[in-house]
Structure 1
Amino acid sequence: MVALVDRFGRSFPYLRLSLTEACNYSCSYCLPDGYRAEGRARFLEPDEIRRLVRGFAALGMSKLRLTGGEPTLRKDLLPIISTVATVPGIRRVAITTNGTHLPRHVRAWREAGLTALNVSLDTLDAGRFREITGHDRFAEVTEGVELALGLGFDSVKLNAVLLRGRNDDELPAWFDYLRGRDVAIRFIELMRTGDNLDFFERHHLRAEAIEQQLLAAGWSLRPRAPDAGPAREYAHPDYRGRVGIIAPYSKDFCAGCNRLRVTARGDLRLCLFGDFGIGLRPLLQSDDDFDALVARISTQLGLKAAGHGLHQGQTGLTPHLASIGG
């Protein structure tokens, strides 16, 4: 097996695959005016997804995360999960969702082969939830999380974008939530994208501020698994749950990068904030193009940069996180 390794010695066992650019939320930090389609988008079809995942798996990719937009808006999500879960070499199939469809569908997704679940939950306050997301769905999302916790997932994680003046005072409430639940909350530092400069300047808070509070409260840093995401995860003997910190502006954040991305239209992105994409879709039309697909993927790693340009205000092709799945 040929491994996906770049010129900096980083390996990439983890692929984030966007299934759609559409989203049914209007989050203040991402799509404050809601999703607006540009023409009639044609996102990857199930057969194209199967061929794509098979190609990456042949190069050593073992962990797949389905993202969006909001991936649960795909009416064919269930067969997609079933298909990718049976590709040889794939050991983990995860999804990142805003959670609105969890109560109705999470059991079926689990039975189809989904092994891990990440749910966006920026706050534990229903009123703040409505203000941040633009929708009054807090009860549904939290109901879905409770249901998921009983379904035997390898992991259930919650994602909260850290917002100065909006939700940065909720750590005590999260501690209460984590005391008896086997779940991780990950605080994600707000990132600047192509269209959120004003919001970023008002609400950006360095994630290290939360880490300092964790250390002061007796939490300790856990070792990072080889195929783990970018979070630094903390644990405490008095709590079943964990706290993760994703701090893209921290020193050497990109040194541990282990993931690649493919957009819902089939472009390989070597970095979330890269300034170019590599079209893979022409090689996803036939099983006969498998060797050419593998060759194209493997030869692109030489173009991956050492790190992003966020510190210099360079956001690349990413207008907002819904466009590529974060």
Structure 2
Amino acid sequence: MGGARVSTPDAAATPAPLVDRFGRVHRDLRISLTDRCSLRCTYCMPAEGVPWLPGSTMLSTDELVRIAAVGVAQGITEIRLTGGEPLLRPDVVDVVRRMAALTGPGGSPEISLTTNALRLPALAAPLRDAGLARVNISIDTLDRERFAALTRRDRLHDTLAGIAAADSVGFSPIKLNAVAMRGVNDDELVDLVRFAVDRGYQMRFIEQMPLDAGHTWDRSAMVTQREVLDALRAAFTLTEVPGRGSAPAELWYVDGGPATVGVIASVTAPFCGSCDRVRLTADGQLRSCLFARTETDLRTLLREGADDDALAAAVRACITGKKPGHDIDDPSFLQPDRPMSAIGG
């Protein structure tokens, strides 16, 4: 890393928590390993894909791990690896191993990963052995033709095989994520919950957010949290699970539990007031919010030889500048220039 000087802070000193101006303590770092993806989901990118980030701008594994180490030293306790599709990064197992070995005031961070599961049959066991704690898997439909239309790839069998592989090596809980879309998969909500509950997984529905590359998001086409719950209550008894904390999903017990279903209602019931997340893009830009329109350039700091104290200061400055909310409902709201695949979920 160009001879960067790594500072050695006083081991006895405990850094102040990563707190923003509104008292939110940040403990969750989302790291995008790549903007590439093996699917072309209609709500994320056009059929021809999007221009990929230039290879020279992508963080090396050493750079990724160094930023993660700075975060863990400042109180980060969970690292979620995202993309794009993070399993497309050739050294993803090594990334997990090195990040799981980090230590900070809260001990070693929990390492989790969000994936489309296509490569999990080959990678589930190596990832578990490297220290991966759990996986979130995207699956919007159980119908093969619908899956092919939604993702523009006929890969439902591979996704299901990946889910089974994650289960077979002991990942738990396995969370299944579906974006609920009007006239597309809103007739499958009950079937998706039954699929998950029957296998001991947790189903989570996500309100479609304005993060598509084509900027074609239409709120009227979005299935709201209320609509999801109304559909599920026609088939199940739902009882709210108390103690949500900073989790993005509100949970309900299904037919008395222990199985649960979750809804991430970023648009109609935003949870910004308890948000504890900060995001690092694959090209080294730190974002205080998924919908932020400004970024903090950590890549340039790294490559110009900044020490850990300077990196930590930049992280704190980014979090200090975090807004109270994403303001999707405000008439002045502007969709981020980057699509979800380039930000990292």
Partner of 1:304: 322
Aligned-pair distance for 1:154? 3.6
Could you tell me how far apart the structure 2 residues matched to 1:297 and 1:253 are?
22
Partner of 1:58: 73
Where 2:182 maps in the other structure, the secondary structure is: coil
Partner of 2:12: none
Q: Is the 8 A contact 1:269 1:276 kept in 2?
A: yes
Instruction: Identify which of 162, 174, 186 aligns with 1:156.
Output: 174
Instruction: Identify which of 24, 30, 35 aligns with 2:38.
Output: 24
Instruction: Identify which of 86, 94, 97 aligns with 1:79.
Output: 94
Could you tell me how far apart the structure 2 residues matched to 1:265 and 1:275 are?
16
**Farther off after superposition, 292-301 or 4-13:** 292-301
1:13 maps to amino acid: R
Aligned pair 1:276/2:294, yes or no?
yes
Partner of 1:168: 186
Could you tell me how far apart the structure 2 residues matched to 1:24 and 1:79 are?
21
Partner of 2:3: none
Q: Is the 8 A contact 1:120 1:159 kept in 2?
A: yes
Counting matched residue pairs gives 325
Q: Where do residues 162-311 of structure 1 align in structure 2 (5 Å cutoff)?
A: 162-193=180-211, 195-200=213-218, 203-215=221-233, 217-224=236-243, 226=245, 229-237=247-255, 241-285=259-303, 289-311=307-329
Report the aligned-residue RMSD. 2.2
Where 1:180 maps in the other structure, the secondary structure is: helix
Partner of 1:10: 24
Q: Is the 8 A contact 2:286 2:318 kept in 1?
A: no
**Farther off after superposition, 174-183 or 296-305:** 174-183
Partner of 2:146: 128
Partner of 2:338: 319
Render the CA deviation track for 1:188-210: whole Å, top value 9, x for unaligned: 10112364444535631212211
Q: Is the 8 A contact 2:36 2:52 kept in 1?
A: no
Identity level (%): 35
Q: Where do residues 97-136 of structure 1 align in structure 2 (5 Å cutoff)?
A: 97-136=115-154
Could you tell me how far apart the structure 1 residues matched to 2:61 and 2:109 are?
19
Aligned pair 1:35/2:53, yes or no?
no
* CA 239–147 in structure 1, closer or farther in 2 if over 3 Å, else same: farther
Render the CA deviation track for 1:207-248: whole Å, top value 9, x for unaligned: 22112344563111223454x531111222566542110111
Could you tell me how far apart the structure 1 residues matched to 2:119 and 2:53 are?
26
**Farther off after superposition, 72-81 or 304-313:** 304-313
Aligned-pair distance for 1:267? 0.8
* CA 202–132 in structure 1, closer or farther in 2 if over 3 Å, else same: farther
Where 1:311 maps in the other structure, the secondary structure is: coil
Where 2:199 maps in the other structure, the secondary structure is: coil
Aligned-pair distance for 1:162? 0.8
Q: Is the 8 A contact 1:182 1:240 kept in 2?
A: no
Where 1:149 maps in the other structure, the secondary structure is: helix
Q: Is the 8 A contact 2:212 2:340 kept in 1?
A: no
Could you tell me how far apart the structure 2 residues matched to 1:275 and 1:255 are?
19
**Could you tell me the TM-score, scaled by structure 2's length?**
0.87
Render the CA deviation track for 1:292-316: whole Å, top value 9, x for unaligned: 1112212332211000021136244
Partner of 2:10: none
Could you tell me how far apart the structure 2 residues matched to 1:184 and 1:45 are?
34
Aligned-pair distance for 1:104? 1.3
* CA 155–318 in structure 1, closer or farther in 2 if over 3 Å, else same: farther
Could you tell me how far apart the structure 2 residues matched to 1:225 and 1:91 are?
20
1:22 maps to amino acid: R
2:268 maps to amino acid: S
Structure exhibiting the larger radius of gyration computed from Cα positions: 2
**Farther off after superposition, 209-218 or 73-82:** 209-218
Instruction: Identify which of 122, 134, 139 aligns with 2:157.
Output: 139
Could you tell me how far apart the structure 2 residues matched to 1:82 and 1:181 are?
28
**Farther off after superposition, 132-141 or 185-194:** 185-194
